[in-house]
């Protein structure tokens, strides 16, 4: 969380939070009634349908919508909420977890998309991960649609195609081909869909001719260039991948997911542009984008890479008493704390040796000794102890 907070603030995002209990319809309006089966929901004492929050974006939309006219644009907010999902626990997926949410509201240009992607990558870098460990797979459903049209696939078949594309990695190739064939795609079109994971931006550009679609490709290339400018060796983290579709009814533009290169874990992070969400929830009509990064998969990856560092509670100073009263020790602790130091001392009477042992055990960086007597002028007493 310290890393999350540090990087988000370096990108000038402000921290916020919201209530963990929200009206149930805040989530059904965004995701439909089917989401109820994934929630901890109940009727409260006021006969209201409520739920523990499964995600933060609807709360964000409600908060921004309520104050949209008064907020400086673009709105740059982040949060680290505790989230709850009623589902079967498995590797990388728990019923309760913490998640970093970073959102940027009020800017439609791909400069905002690049800023968001750069923030996610810089978080990986801050944890000690490299492009050899993590890849950002990036897509845009509008470009995917343009490519499908370019290879002759009728738009009436798009829902079936999207569903197949979303499962390409988890479904046998022949099963995907059968589903596409049932949707009246010919062999060439089926191959074009099944090979989307390796289709490059240049290959898409060679097929697309409509001016609006070409403009989309130009914007996407500009986005990739901006990320490379914002992040050292930024291009090494990025991979154009049209199989990343995410929520079809939710996202409206560039989308991305971060994965470990080995493919051992679930997505580390995911997000993209959701320009219609605020207005659909009854808020302001503002362009918006964001990502969520959970602590569960990230922790597993860091542990596997040997990068999961513990942060022991370490006092800057341990105040020891050499015969002095507890009042004198407390006065010294108060003075040091007023200087901004973290200070600990024995809360009950102990021998001097035991106090020293406790200070070393706690990893205190310095020891200060309070005496019960004044020292002669010019004398200095240095307690003999091992360096912590």
Over the stretch 144-166, which tens digit does the pLDDT of each residue have? 999 999 999 999 999 899 999 98
| pLDDT for residue 248 | 60
Domain ranges of the chain: 2-18+56-304, 317-371
383, pLDDT greater than 70: no
Cβ neighbours for 258, distance < 8 A, ≥ 6 positions apart: 120, 124, 134, 135, 136, 137, 267, 268, 269, 270, 293
Coil/strand/helix, residue 367: strand
Q: Which residue in 311, 306, 256 sits closest to 133, CA to CA?
A: 306
Q: Give me the architecture of the 2-18+56-304 domain, per CATH.
A: 2-Layer Sandwich (3.30)
Token output for 160: 């079936």
Q: What is the mean pLDDT of the chain?
A: 90
Residue 385 — very low, low, confident or very high, per pLDDT cuts 50/70/90? very low
Residue 384 — very low, low, confident or very high, per pLDDT cuts 50/70/90? very low
Alpha-carbon distance values, 19 to 22, 59, 87, 289, 291 (Å): 7, 8, 22, 21, 19
| pLDDT for residue 379 | 57
138, 225 Cβ separation under 8 angstroms:
no
Over the stretch 270-325, which tens digit does the pLDDT of each residue have? 999 999 888 877 677 899 999 999 999 999 999 999 998 877 678 899 999 999 99
| pLDDT for residue 247 | 67
| pLDDT for residue 386 | 45
% helix, strand, coil for the chain, step of 5: 40, 20, 40
Over the stretch 69-121, which tens digit does the pLDDT of each residue have? 899 999 999 999 999 988 777 776 788 999 999 999 999 999 999 999 999 99
Cβ neighbours for 174, distance < 8 A, ≥ 6 positions apart: none
Q: Which residue in 331, 313, 320, 312 sits closest to 357, CA to CA?
A: 320
Strongest mean pLDDT among 248-252, 261-265, 282-286, 381-385 = 261-265
Residue 375 — very low, low, confident or very high, per pLDDT cuts 50/70/90? low
Distance in angstroms (rounded) separating the CA atoms of residues 372 and 260 = 59
203, pLDDT greater than 70: yes
259, 265 Cβ separation under 8 angstroms:
yes
Distance in angstroms (rounded) separating the CA atoms of residues 4 and 299 = 13
User: What are the DSSP calls for 30-50, one per residue?
Assistant: HH-GGGGGGS-EEE-TTS-EE
| pLDDT for residue 382 | 54
Start-to-end CA distance of the chain, whole Å, equals: 27
Number of Cβ within a 10 Å radius of residue 110: 24
Mean pLDDT confidence for 232-258: 89
Bridge partners of residue 291, in order along the sequence = 102, 271
Residue 56 — very low, low, confident or very high, per pLDDT cuts 50/70/90? very high
Distance in angstroms (rounded) separating the CA atoms of residues 24 and 309 = 38
Distance in angstroms (rounded) separating the CA atoms of residues 364 and 42 = 48
Distance in angstroms (rounded) separating the CA atoms of residues 338 and 340 = 5
């Amino acid at each position: 969380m310290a890393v999350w907070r540090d990087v988000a603030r370096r990108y000038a995002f402000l921290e916020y939070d919201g209530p963990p209990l929200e009206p149930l319809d805040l989530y059904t309006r965004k995701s439909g009634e089917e989401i109820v089966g994934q929630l901890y929901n109940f009727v409260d004492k006021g006969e209201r349908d409520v739920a523990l929050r499964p995600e933060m974006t609807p709360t964000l939309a409600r908060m921004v919508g309520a104050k949209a006219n008064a907020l400086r644009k673009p709105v740059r907010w982040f949060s680290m909420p505790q989230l709850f999902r009623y589902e079967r626990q498995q590797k990388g997926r728990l019923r309760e977890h913490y998640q970093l949410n970073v959102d940027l509201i009020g800017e439609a240009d791909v400069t905002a998309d690049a800023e968001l992607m750069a923030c996610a990558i810089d978080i990986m870098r801050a944890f000690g991960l490299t492009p050899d460990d993590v890849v950002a797979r990036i897509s845009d459903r509008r470009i995917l649609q343009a490519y499908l049209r370019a290879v002759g696939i009728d738009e009436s078949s798009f829902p079936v195609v999207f569903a197949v594309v979303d499962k390409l990695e988890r479904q046998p190739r022949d099963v995907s081909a059968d589903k596409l064939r049932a949707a009246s795609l010919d062999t060439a079109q089926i191959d074009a869909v099944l090979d989307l994971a390796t289709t490059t931006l240049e290959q898409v550009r060679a097929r697309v001719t409509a001016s609006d679609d070409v403009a989309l490709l130009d914007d996407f290339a500009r986005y990739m260039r901006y990320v490379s400018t914002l992040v050292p060796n930024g291009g090494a983290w990025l991979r154009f991948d049209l199989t990343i579709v995410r929520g079809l009814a939710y996202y409206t533009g560039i989308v991305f997911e971060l994965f470990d290169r080995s493919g051992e874990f679930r997505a580390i992070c995911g997000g993209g542009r959701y320009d219609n969400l605020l207005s659909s929830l009854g808020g302001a009509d503002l362009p918006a984008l964001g990502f969520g990064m959970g602590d569960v998969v990230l922790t597993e990856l860091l542990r596997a890479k040997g990068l999961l560092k513990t942060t022991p509670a370490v006092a800057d100073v341990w105040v020891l008493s050499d015969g002095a009263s507890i009042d004198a020790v407390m006065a010294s602790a108060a003075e040091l704390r007023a200087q901004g130091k973290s200070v600990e001392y024995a809360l009950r009477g102990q021998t001097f040796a035991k106090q020293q042992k406790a200070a070393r055990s706690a990893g205190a960086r310095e020891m200060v000794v309070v005496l019960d007597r004044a020292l002669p002028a010019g004398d200095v007493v240095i307690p003999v102890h091992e360096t912590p």
